[in-house]
Structure 1
């Protein structure tokens, strides 16, 4: 009968991997799907050009900035479920933040559909953009909340019905339309009283968090929160 060497941890499933082993995993992960990552990065850069040559005004503060940064990173690295969840966070915080700075009297915890209704009523979003953003929420909900296999939004059911791998379904869903409208278009559609309120808010000494953001697509963004 062979004796067990107490110093031999090669077969110990609960042993901690060495730094070298972890580095090998990281290098392998970096190498895998490199062409796909480059393609997705170019996809973001190409779409970012539509944000305008002067940059983008991003409302929602640190939460919106973090969601934007991590959504881009998740998309490039192929973490598509995370991309969808982060894009929903970005949409909710950016739109509600814009309404807040524009003088809208928001409840302490405004819901997303209420935010969309208010944006539409004030002319900040077109009906098509509202439809796209509702679709984003529909993509997010089955990932945030349990759906059994009989639900048409269940990821496995969608995969089987469409004859695609689940990760491919998520990859296609993550390529949602960004809400792209430059500041000039916003100004043209915004009621004059709210436009004046927004300008006053940006000039006021209130503790808005403003920061110029260098983005990987477009010429930068300005964050107000």
Structure 2
């Protein structure tokens, strides 16, 4: 089964400093048909005005990833984690048994655009933890591993049977990943235009794959470089 989640169908929250699109139910946006996908619970596409952000607040028992598209995101948490996350960089915060944190736009003049991603952990009440992964190289070709349970190859170490990969595709370039029907897959287009097994997708569009096998073939289209995330998830 292939599940389509067009960008335009996502939940939308707008405040005086935040423009946020919600793939799954979150905060004031609730849709019982979109409560998550396997352990993947949240994908919010946030645009935060200069100098604004999320003040200190508390989370527990969630793996939280922030993937910056443009601008800079300033993070600080009670476990000692913190820093400025730039374009293409990935931040991991495992909330564990509880952690207080804040996220602010790191610039007084420019907006920040990023994805906030939540994945449910496989076990409750870990010690909180934090890590940051450098941006994918500008000349990278093929899939790049961003997150994995064992933190291999420089990825951040998720506390769940979940793997996150990234691929960048210029017009005419292609990439392939073989789907295992025993696993779930969520394909999220971050930027640009791609086709996925013949389906044309724009930034913000997504596809979910359940009980699917065989190759997932991606082809870059449009004028700019496409950026695509693939979540490889256990049930």
Quickly name the TM-score band, shorter chain normalised: under 0.3
Q: Which has the higher helix share?
A: 1
Structure number with the bigger relative contact order (C-alpha 8 A, sep ≥ 6) is: 1
TM-score w.r.t. the length of structure 1 is 0.24
Higher strand fraction: Structure 1 or Structure 2? Answer: 2
